[in-house]
Amino acid sequence: MKNHAWRPLWLAIGLIAAVLTARHFLVPQDFGVHGDSFTYNFYRLGAVQFWEDFPDKYQGRERCAKCHDENAEANATSKHRNIQCENCHGPGTGHPKQVKQLPINSSRELCLRCHEYLAYPSSLRSQLPGIDGDTHKAGKECRKCHDPHHPDLEG
């Protein structure tokens, strides 16, 4: 064969060798097929332990109820029964041992996140009882009138 045919061939071989070498160094050793099929078993073995050790951010209300039983009971029997404590108080991991207190957010924004009326007729969002945050008792904290753990419309 003439030079002009060999040159691109060497180039191609060189490129493939470079890719294979790079792959050897870049892909972790424990990456591969772990199991009997290719479909779901292509992963890094170390990833299993990584996710097992990954710390949870949220505890769930059953845990909160162990100590804050009054709030938990009020919440469970109210219109807010589907709302997790940590939705309003933030993630509870480490509380109360390392994190002594969880934040209490008394801003109108906390509530308006869900209760600002939005007209999306085709979605469940517009079925939440909605108000206009600019005019509904403007400037006053919502909790002055509505108990966040057991809201009603008594005002």
- Which residues sit at the interface with ligand HEC, rule CB under 6 A? 59, 61, 63-64, 66-68, 71-72, 75, 79-80, 82-83, 85-89, 92, 95-96, 101-102, 104, 106, 108, 110-115, 128-129, 131, 133, 136-137, 140, 142-146, 148-149, 151-153, 155
**What does each C-alpha distance from 82 to 27, 38, 58, 93 come to in angstroms?**
44, 40, 16, 20
Q: Is the Cα torsion angle 132, 133, 135, 136 positive or negative in sign?
A: positive
| Residue number with the smallest Cβ distance to ligand HEC | 155
Give the C-alpha separation, 76 to 111, whole Å. 18
Q: For residues 17 and 102, what is the distance between their CA atoms, to the nearest angstrom? A: 56
Q: Which is nearer to ligand HEC, 7 or 140 (CB)?
A: 140
Residue with smaller CB distance to ligand HEC, 24 or 66: 66
Shorter beta-carbon distance to ligand HEC: residue 35 or 94: 94
